[in-house]
Each structure stands twice: as C-alpha cells, then as structure tokens.
C-alpha cells in the first residue's frame, strides 16, 4: 500500500544538514518517524531527550542518521562552485577559506540569488550518500522527482497558495470541467487534497509556465496506490493554449521523468461523458480499464530506461557515528 514507510532522501538530507554539534537525527526503523534531539537547552525536543534517544538506540528501537559532517558539505560546496558563473567562482573559493566558511559561503550565494539553488544541489548530493546508508540499514527510500525532467519545454514549479489566483483563472477557462464554478477556496483545497491512504509528501501540485504565464496544471500523486505507481488527479491546459500540442508535450515529458525515477505504471480517471479527454488519453496510449461511479479509469504501463553499465572501482563508506 502507498502508506508503507518510505524515506524521501532529499527531505532527510535537508534535515541532516541542519544537525549541529549538539544535535542528532534519529529514525524509528519500523515507523520511519524522524526525531531530532539536542543537548542544547534552547533546542531540546520536549518529547524525546538525548539520553532517551541513546537508550532507544542501544535497544535497536532507533537508528542514528548521518549528520551534516558525514554528508561532506565542504566537498559539496567546493563542487557547486563549478556550476556558478565564472565571475563568482573566485569569491566563493575565498569564502571557503574564511574562519567561518559556511556562513561566508552562504552569504555570498544569498547576495547573488543562488542560495536556494545551492540548497537543492546540496540536498541532492546528500541524498546520494544517504541512499547507500539506507541500503546498508535495509530501509526503503525514494528520491524526489526532479521537476526539470517533467517540464518539457516549459518552466515547472510546485504551486503554492500565492499561486491560487492564477490557477483559478486557468480553471475558469475550462468551465465544462466543473459542476460548479470554481472559487479561490476550492483551488486552495485542491492544492492539498489527497486520495485515501496517501500522504502530502507524495503530492506534486505542479504549474507549467510559458513566458511567465501559467498554461497548465498537473496534480500528481506518487507511489499511489502502491510504490512505483503514479496517479494523475487532474491535468488541465488553459483553454487559450489547447489544440497546440502543449498537453501532449507535457505528458510525454512527465512519462519520461517518471520512467527515469522507476515509475512504470501511470493511472488517472476522467468523467464517462468527457469524450474529448478520453480521446486525448487514448491517443497517448492510455487504455480504459474500468468504469465506476461515472468515472473511467485509464492506465498505461511504460518501459523503464535501461542503465548503461559502467565499470568502476568499489568505494567503501565507513559510517563513523
């Protein structure tokens, strides 16, 4: 089932990077609950002390996750310099040699509007190390989907409450899709609505933009109704941009991105009387599999890309904690 325990590595990496000298991050290997505990009076967890966590670790009821130092952030900072404009590279190298390199480096990135991009890069690199750690400890995990891989020729981002007005205008351009006129309240509810037995971490409410204008929305649920299955709750293109191949481009990019992440099965539902949507999905290879409560379910199985084998020297990590 989709609610089986699962670690999203980039999220865990972000929390691991936030552990300081006096704090530790623990995981319950049965429920996958994360516990951040600290000896610092200001940051102590009221629900779990450090002494209690260490005792539970001895009893094998908690496992200690890698800390920031185990994820080699200094090496990641050095690597990231290769991805910034040349005019910034020298100043970032200088920042790495300052008495407080982390603060100096991040301040320089923030001045140039690159801090969030660096954090994403850092979390991706940290997730690669955590992947091996999870394998060593028999924990199920998943990488986050890379949004650029789902984007086709468009800019894509996760939509938030502040984007609700744009989403509402797009929905209003497709009145035939709604039994009642959509409202801002409806949009904000849709942004967080989940199928039963799914969690918010599985939901990607995406907006596709062209020249700064929202042209399509996609409500995607991953690992639903079971791991490595993807479910499309809603896909809608602005009426003014339909019949231009935009919808097909977005779906093809979505399929490729999901396939790279190991998702071979995609499903969705449309109203039985929506012949136009049925034609669209059938054209893209989706097959109607069942009809229930006025809805038709469409499904597609896609082949996963085969990874090319590249021989490499075995690298051994020692987890020193």
* Residue 66: φ, ψ to 5°: -55, 140
b/e string for 225-240 if b means 16 or more Cβ within 10 A?
beeebbbbbbbbbbee
Statement: residue 231 has pLDDT above 70: yes
Same domain, 25 and 157: no
Tens digit of pLDDT for each residue in 299-308? 999 988 875 5
- Split into its structural domains, the chain has a count of 2
> Strand (E) positions, 161-228?
203-210, 213-222
In this prediction the pTM is 0.67
* Residue 89: φ, ψ to 5°: -65, -40
Same domain, 35 and 172: no
Statement: residue 316 has pLDDT above 70: no
What confidence score (pLDDT) does residue 190 get? 97
State the pLDDT confidence band at 312, using cuts at 50, 70 and 90.
very low
Q: Which of 229, 206, 192 is nearest to 147 (CA)?
A: 206
Decide if 108 contacts 124 (C-beta within 8 A).
no
pLDDT above 70 covers what percent of the chain?
93
Q: Specify if 132 maps to a domain.
A: yes
| Residue that terminates a domain, selected from 264, 280, 296 | 264
Same domain, 12 and 114: yes
What confidence score (pLDDT) does residue 2 get? 46
Q: Specify if 117 maps to a domain.
A: yes
Tens digit of pLDDT for each residue in 248-299? 999 999 999 999 888 999 999 999 999 999 999 999 999 999 999 999 999 9
Q: Specify if 197 maps to a domain.
A: yes
Look at residue 205 and give its three-state secondary structure.
strand
Same domain, 182 and 194: yes
Residue 94 in tokens? 């200088």
What confidence score (pLDDT) does residue 187 get? 97
pLDDT above 90 covers what percent of the chain?
72
Residue 236 in tokens? 């809608």
Q: Specify if 284 maps to a domain.
A: no
What confidence score (pLDDT) does residue 314 get? 46
| Residue that terminates a domain, selected from 264, 296, 313 | 264
Q: Which of 71, 83, 76 is nearest to 18 (CA)?
A: 71
Q: Which residues contact 262 (CB under 8 A, 6 or more apart)?
A: 228, 304
Q: Which of 26-35, 218-227, 301-310 has the lowest mean pLDDT?
A: 301-310
Tens digit of pLDDT for each residue in 75-127? 999 999 999 999 999 999 999 999 999 999 999 999 999 998 999 899 999 99
Q: Specify if 216 maps to a domain.
A: yes
CATH number of the domain encompassing residue 243? 3.40.630.30
Q: What's the CA gap between 314 and 316, in Å, rounded?
A: 7
Same domain, 59 and 13: yes
- Give the count of alpha carbons within 13 A of 309, CB side only: 1
Same domain, 134 and 225: no
What confidence score (pLDDT) does residue 173 get? 97
What confidence score (pLDDT) does residue 319 get? 54
Q: Specify if 274 maps to a domain.
A: no
Q: Specify if 281 maps to a domain.
A: no
Same domain, 71 and 46: yes
Decide if 156 contacts 209 (C-beta within 8 A).
yes
Q: Specify if 105 maps to a domain.
A: yes
Same domain, 168 and 232: yes
56: buried, middle or exposed (CB in 10 Å: 19+, 13-18, 0-12)?
A: middle
Same domain, 208 and 81: no
Same domain, 131 and 190: no
Statement: residue 144 has pLDDT above 80: no
| Residue that terminates a domain, selected from 213, 242, 264 | 264
Same domain, 5 and 58: yes
Domain with 134, as residue range(s), is 1-144
State the Cα angle at 143 between 137 and 145, rounded to 5°.
170
Averaged pLDDT score across all residues of the chain = 89
Statement: residue 10 has pLDDT above 80: yes
Q: What's the CA gap between 74 and 92, in Å, rounded?
A: 12
User: Dihedral of CA 286/297/202/165: which sign?
Assistant: positive
Same domain, 42 and 158: no
How many other C-beta atoms are found inside a 10 Å radius of the C-beta of residue 155?
Answer: 15
What confidence score (pLDDT) does residue 145 get? 78
């Amino acid at each position: 089932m989709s609610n089986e325990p699962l670690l999203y590595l980039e999220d865990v990496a972000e929390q691991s990077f936030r552990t300081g000298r006096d704090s530790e991050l623990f995981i319950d290997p049965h429920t996958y609950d994360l516990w951040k505990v600290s000896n610092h009076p200001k940051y102590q967890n009221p629900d779990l002390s450090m002494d209690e966590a260490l005792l539970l670790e001895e009893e094998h009821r908690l496992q200690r996750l890698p800390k920031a130092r185990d994820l080699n952030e200094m090496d990641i900072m050095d690597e990231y310099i290769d991805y910034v404009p040349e005019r910034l590279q020298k100043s970032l190298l200088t920042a790495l040699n300052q008495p407080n390199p982390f603060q100096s480096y991040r301040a320089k990135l923030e001045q140039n509007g690159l801090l969030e991009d660096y954090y994403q890069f850092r979390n991706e690199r940290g997730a690669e190390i955590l992947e091996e750690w999870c394998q060593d400890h028999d924990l199920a995990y998943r990488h986050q989907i890379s949004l650029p891989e789902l984007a086709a020729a468009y800019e894509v981002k996760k939509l938030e409450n502040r984007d609700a007005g744009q989403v509402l205008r797009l929905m209003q351009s497709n009145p035939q899709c709604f039994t009642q006129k959509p409202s801002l309240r409806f949009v904000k509810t849709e942004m967080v609505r989940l199928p039963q037995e799914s969690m918010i971490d599985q939901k990607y409410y995406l907006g596709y933009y062209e020249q700064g204008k929202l042209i399509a929305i996609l409500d995607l649920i991953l690992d639903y109704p079971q791991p490595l299955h993807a479910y499309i709750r809603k896909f809608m293109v602005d009426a003014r941009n339909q019949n231009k191949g935009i919808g097909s481009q977005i779906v093809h990019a979505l399929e490729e991105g999901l396939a790279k992440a190991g998702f071979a099965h995609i499903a969705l539902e449309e109203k039985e009387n929506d012949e136009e949507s049925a034609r669209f999905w059938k054209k893209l290879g989706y097959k109607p599999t069942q009809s229930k409560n006025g809805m038709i379910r469409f499904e597609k199985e896609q082949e996963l890309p085969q990874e090319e084998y590249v021989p490499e020297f075995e690298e051994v990590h020692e987890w020193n904690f």
